[in-house]
Amino acid sequence: METSLVPKRSMYAPISSIRGIPVDIAQHLHKRGIKYTHQIFPRCQTEQQRQELARQLDIALAHLTDLSYRADLMRLHGVGGDMAHLLVMAGVRSCRDLQHAPPMPLFKRLAELHISRGVAYHAPSLTQVRAWIEEARNLAATSPI
């Protein structure tokens, strides 16, 4: 199987592990059978799908969109809930955004945010940021739009 199609371990993280997602929204998703990050994608690929699911769950579309973007970032090797949160704080919403990011400025921004706000256990290395950008190029086609 092509490696870009093989789900990463973080894709099987519980929805509740996505930092910044309110507990009540995680509970709404859980009731609909969406317990893990990999389950969000088939239901949130398009704006229309997200609108419908948000209506069904009676939650704000903005919350569901944010959740789908963070779950998208968690498909990257080594990106869990905290690192996805750090990327979002740096202005990267999804793999579609990340594929176009210049590595050095993003690396510096992530390090600054980690130091100033204590997000994540560590800041990623420049090598890691470059690897994520490359991986994001392969994943962007399946990122939520």
46-69 per-position pLDDT tens digit: 899 999 999 998 889 998 899 888
| Interior angle at CA 136, CA 132 and CA 139, nearest 5 | 140
Look at residue 4 and tell me whether its pLDDT is greater than 60.
no
23-50 per-position pLDDT tens digit: 888 888 888 888 998 888 788 888 999 9
DSSP annotation of 102:
-
Cα 131 to Cα 118: distance, rounded to the nearest angstrom: 23
Helix (H) or strand (E) holding 129: helix 126-139
Q: What is the pTM of this model?
A: 0.84
Cα 31 to Cα 40: distance, rounded to the nearest angstrom: 13
Q: Which residue do the tokens 């980690």 mark?
A: 114
